[in-house]
Structures are given as C-alpha cells and as structure tokens.
Amino acid sequence: MASTWVPGVSPDSPFSLANIPFGIISSQADPAPHAAIAIGSHVLDLKVLSAHEAFEEVFPALKNHAGIFSRSTLNEFAALGRPVHREVRRTIQDLLSTETSRPEVLKDNAALREKVLLSQQSVKMHLPMSIGDYTDFYAGFHHAYTVGCLFRSSQDALHPNYTHLPVGYHSRASSIVVSGTPIKRPIGQIIIDPTAEPKQPTTAPSRRLDMELELGCFISTPNEMGSSIKVTDAEDHIFGYVLLNDWSARDVQTWEYIPLGPFNAKNFASSISPWVVLADALEPFRSKGIDNWTPLQPYLNEGKEENVFDIELQIELQTPQGDGTTICTTSSKNLLWSFPQMIAHHTLGGCPLRTGDLIGSGTISGPSMREKGSLLELSEGGKKDIMLYGMDVRRFLKDGDTVVLRGICGKPGERVGFGECVGRVLEATLP
C-alpha cells in the first residue's frame, strides 16, 4: 500500500490509506449533513471535493450522479452497487497517495486542500444511513453456547435449529443512534424476586443493563419482494460494516421474551460507529469461521471456507470517575454464520431487503472468559463481580458508565478500523 501525503496519519491510525471509510459529517462552515471519508486524524469533505471542475473526469462512475455527496445519508451512493464503491474508493486512494496520478486535483492544490481536509475534532458525525429495517442475528457461537449453559445446561445449550439456520429477529430501526449519543436507562416490567410464585412483575428501571459487542452490515442493492438472494451473490448486496452495540435490559428480557423473543428489552437503543468500512477494505482479512458440524441446506452453502473476517474487537468500560478498563478482547471470526448466509436466509421466503437496511451479527464472544462480548457472560449471569481499574467492580452497567467498542485489523501503517462506538448510560426518566 502506498503512503499518503495527508498529514497526521500515524502508523496506528485505524483510518489509513488502506481503509477509506465513508460517513456523514457537518461542520461549522457547512451545518448541513453531507458525505466525507476518514483519513488519519482528518476527514475529506466529499461535498466540497465534488464541486471541483474536474470531478466528473476524475470520478467517471459518478458522472450522472451530481450532488450525490451532498445528501444527508449515504443511501444513494450505497445503492449504486459494489463496483461503483470500489472504483470511487480506489480513486480517492489515488488522490491521497504520495504518488498520485492527479497531483493537480488535490495534492498540489493548496486552496482546495484547505477547504476539503478538516480535522475530525472539528466536525460532527451523524448516522451514515437512513435505516429502514434492522434485523439482529445470533451468529456468535460462543455467546449462544455460554448463555445457553447459564440458563439451561451444557447438554441443551443450543436449540436444535441453531446449527441448521441463522437464528435472528426483527429489531427496532428508529432507536439506532450514532456513536456518542447518550443512552437512557430503560424502564420495563421486571421480576424482583425470581423465586416467588406466582411471578409478580414490577414496573421499574432496568437493574441489569448490558451491552453487546456486534458487527453490523449495511445493505446496498435491494432485492424485489418474492425473490431471494443467492448466498454466492450476497456479497454484491453489501455496502459495508460498522461496530454495533445492541444495548440490552436483561431483567426485562427474562420476563418478556417467552414466547416471541425480545421486545422492550432491546428496542430502546442500539449504537453504531459513524464510519462505514467498505466491504472491499476488509477483503484482505478474510478468515475461516467456526466449523459447523451440521450438513447445510444447499441455499446456505457458500462453497468456501474463508467467509468471515478476522477483526480484533475490544470493549472498554469507563466508570463515571473516568477510569477505563478493557474487559473484552476477541475476534469477529468467532461466528458460526457469515453475513452472506444471513442475507440468503433472510430473503429465502421472498423478504425484500432495501438499501440502508442494517443486519447485526449477534454478540461476538470467544471461547475464553476474557473474550466474552457481554456483561451477562462476564459476570456469569450476574453472579460474579467483574474487576475494574481502581478496585471498582461491575456485574451490570451503572448510571454514568461509558461503553467504548473498538475494532481494527491490519499491520501498522495499513490499519483498517472502525474508530469507536461510544455510549454513556444516563439515569432513567420515571413516568
């Protein structure tokens, strides 16, 4: 990978020239949300760049799409499809390369550089996509097995269908927020005394607020209602990926989830990282996922082993006092099902996916205790203290706690990462 002339791109930056993630920003100079990419500690304002007189010549794939980077979401760009995403990303990489083939456009154009290169600290990030639907899967094998052991036994930890199909449920798109948005503790029906009979719920703020470490996938090109997407074609329907924190109220979930699954325990908030890492940027980090010992139905057979990505994922928990502790380090390869398999199953019956739809992987955990992607697992169902820096402990989240998710892959100087997905817990508002 070539080097960049852009200042402030440290070897450990998640936004190297090898990445070029897309997002939506606003600035003091232009408060209207619009498109940008991240490079090091800067953003490249694509709306300003698109006003350059040679823009259509430099970006021929966008010739008939004037103003596409002036939109308040990336949906229109995403809908152009992966070949266009690939070409635009490569062109931006060339413009930002030390050995660029078009130095007159940006590298040697001081006036334009001053307008298009902004400090990340000077811009506000927004949701990158208009999200019509959000489906959350349960593809993290170790999470599913550990939780099954906590509530059942090791013999029947996984339900019989788990290795036959990607289990998922429809969650709430309207409560997906961008990183940095505070998360208010939810109120719901909870059981104070689980041993009492008959069960008597109380309406109160959740006492078991949790986070979940997930990877999110954005759909680019849709399929028509009544049609399905073949697993071997599903990659072409993927725009890119984000970090996803699927906040969960475990006590609300325990009482409400039978027989139809999670509802209020999950619908109050989900946080995503602001930069969409394009599918092509993650191609070098393909890896083999967890072996599935069950023979697959033909529509789920991808015909290849390296169907997931090896991204190093971390959870940091920061207390109200500002002390931070890394409580989880794991890999995104700990999935039993790939995103193409999730997409193929999602559309099997003819369900139409649309541009901007979000698909969650489910909680990603590894086999060891330090690799667990939720407090539910780390605290062994709320029975064990999790030690934090400064002799503090947690079993579940307290008001004022901040959860930071991070994800990165690649070697120094060629890092491909997501930045951070951050959310701070606020106290509940009582009715």
- Active-site residue list: 143
Query: Dihedral of CA 76/81/84/90: which sign?
Result: positive
Collect contacts of 30-36 with beta carbons under 8 A, ≥24 apart. Answer: 32/70, 32/72, 33/72, 33/73, 33/126, 34/69, 34/70, 34/71, 34/72, 35/68, 35/69, 35/70, 35/71, 35/74, 35/77, 36/118, 36/123
Are the beta carbons of 264 and 256 closer than 8 angstroms?
yes
Tokens 């794939």 -> residue = 61
- Specify the DSSP element, H or E, that contains 157: none
In which region does residue 419 sit, left (phi positive, over 0), alpha (psi from -120 to 50) or beta (all else)? left
Query: Omega before 259 cis (within 30°)?
Result: yes
What whole-number distance in Å separates Cα of residue 227 and Cα of residue 349?
8
- Residues in the chain, overall count: 431
- Specify the DSSP element, H or E, that contains 13: none
Backbone angles phi, psi at 403, to 5 degrees: -105, 130
Burial 327-364 (b: 16+ CB within 10 A, else e): bbebbbbbbbbbbbbbbbbbbeeebebebbbbbbbbbb
Are the beta carbons of 44 and 36 closer than 8 angstroms?
yes
What whole-number distance in Å separates Cα of residue 219 and Cα of residue 240?
8
Residue 171 DSSP SS3: strand
